[in-house]
């Protein structure tokens, strides 16, 4: 009985220390995330008019958002980016992780750093850099094509901007996803590979039938990261818009639309509504995907 009492007292003491160390994060989380979100939702329930000022209109703004052709067009655009970019990013990340996992020399370590390096570059800096590379007037691609007497393609035209943005984002994020998948591969016992080789399995079979299935939970996780990031597409097109005004309109993505509403058209209430509507769609996409991949992610009961 005495031992049980001492054990409970010790557990309570540990719990107190746990709360003590997590409290600073909890305070900042509430102040800088929860409170602004609650306030933004509150703002979205009002509509500003010149005559009556701010008027409570409930969910009217949300009804307007989901019938707004500009918002729906931007949402359709980011869904298309999601359908294209997510498989490309994760496919490349998985291939790179599998290749690097099979390399046991110093070359493998150097390669990991080089593949991860684009993620270490701030997104804004990366977008500015690609804006220069894509430039039709002074970019290196233009100079390269001119060496052969050829006309350089306009990477920032309406026809090419989709592929240009896909290339930018893939370059920026593939290394990050690769590191996550590579770390998961490192946790697989090497005895499994040795047993498979004894049974006559080739390296390709080991990669496809042993390694890939065993990191399925990590694949699901990076897929969710990629889905959320792509659906919230903002920084790259916003920065590149300075070089491609005709191809990237202010309402190109929902986030850009929300920003334009707030700072260009002074529609704070409707801007907050667009932001929450986008957040709702992101949550729905994520929950649907998690339920669809419950078995692979290890969340199945």
pLDDT higher for 6 or 83? 83
> For 259, left (φ over 0), alpha (ψ -120 to 50), or beta?
alpha
Q: How far apart are CA 239 and CA 80, in angstroms?
A: 20
**124 pLDDT above the threshold of 80:** yes
| Distance between CA atoms of residues 142 and 150, nearest Å | 9
Task: Confirm whether 2 is domain-assigned.
Answer: no
Residue 206, domain member (yes or no):
yes
Residue 13 has pLDDT above 70, yes or no: no
Q: Which residue has the higher pLDDT, 196 or 175?
A: 175
pTM of the model: 0.84
Q: Is residue 27 part of a domain?
A: no
Percentage of the residues of the chain whose pLDDT score is greater than 90: 45
- How high is the pLDDT of residue 1? 53
Structural domain tally of the chain? 1
Count of other CB atoms within 10 angstroms of residue 161 = 21
- Average pLDDT on 255-272 reads 92
- Tokens representing residue 45 in the block: 């329930």
Segments in the chain forming alpha helices (H)? 2-29, 35-44, 60-65, 69-102, 106-120, 123-134, 140-147, 161-186, 190-198, 203-206, 212-214, 216-231, 235-240, 254-263, 268-292, 294-297
> Residue 93: which residues within 8 A CB-CB, separation 6 or more?
174, 175, 177, 178, 180, 181, 222
Distant-in-sequence, close-in-space partners of 68: CB < 8 Å, separation ≥ 6: 274
Here the tokens at position 147 are 């060496």
The answer to the question of residue 273 being in a domain is: yes
Q: Is residue 117 included in any domain, yes or no?
A: yes
> Do the domain assignments include residue 143?
yes
Is 16 inside a domain boundary? no
Residue 14 placed within a domain: no
CATH number at residue 157: 1.10.3720.10
For residue 253, the enclosing domain spans 64-297
**Residue 56: exposure state from Cβ atoms within 10 A (0-12, 13-18, ≥19):** exposed
CB contact set of 159 (below 8 Å; sequence gap of 6+): none
């Amino acid at each position: 009985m005495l031992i049980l009492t001492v054990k409970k007292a010790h557990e309570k003491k540990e719990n107190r220390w746990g709360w003590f160390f997590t409290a600073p994060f909890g305070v900042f989380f509430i102040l800088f995330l929860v409170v602004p979100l609650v306030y933004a939702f509150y703002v979205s329930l009002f509509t500003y008019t010149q005559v009556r000022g701010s008027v409570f209109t409930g969910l009217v703004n949300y009804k307007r958002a989901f019938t707004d052709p500009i918002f729906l067009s931007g949402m359709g655009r980011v869904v298309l980016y999601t359908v294209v970019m997510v498989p490309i990013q994760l496919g490349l990340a998985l291939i790179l992780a599998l290749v690097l996992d099979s390399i046991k020399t110093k070359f493998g370590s150097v390669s990991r750093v080089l593949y991860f390096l684009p993620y270490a570059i701030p997104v804004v800096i990366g977008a500015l850099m690609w804006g220069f590379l894509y430039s039709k007037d002074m970019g290196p691609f233009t100079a390269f094509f001119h060496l052969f007497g050829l006309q350089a393609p306009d990477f920032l035209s309406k026809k090419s901007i989709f592929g240009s943005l896909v290339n930018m984002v893939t370059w920026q994020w593939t290394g990050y996803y690769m590191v996550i998948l590579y770390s998961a591969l490192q946790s697989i016992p090497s005895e499994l590979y040795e047993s498979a080789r004894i049974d006559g399995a080739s390296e390709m079979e080991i990669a496809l039938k042993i390694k890939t299935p065993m990191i399925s939970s990590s694949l699901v996780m990076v897929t969710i990261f990629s889905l959320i990031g792509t659906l919230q597409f903002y920084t790259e097109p916003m920065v590149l818009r300075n070089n491609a005004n005709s191809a990237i309109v202010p309402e190109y993505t929902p986030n850009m639309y929300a920003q334009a509403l707030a700072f260009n058209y002074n529609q704070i209430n409707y801007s907050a509504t667009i932001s929450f509507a986008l957040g709702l769609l992101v949550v729905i996409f994520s929950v649907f995907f998690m339920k669809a991949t419950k078995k692979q992610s290890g969340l199945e009961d």
